[in-house]
Amino acid sequence: MKLSARNSLQGVVKTIIDGAVNAEVVIELPGGVQITSIVTKDAVTALGLAVGKPAYAIIKASNVMIGVDH
pLDDT at 30: 96
CATH architecture of the domain formed by 7-59? Beta Barrel (2.40)
Q: Are 53 and 65 in contact (CB under 8 A)?
A: no
Average pLDDT in the 46-61 region? 93
Average pLDDT in the 15-43 region? 96
pLDDT at 6: 78
Closest CA to 28 of 20, 37, 19: 37
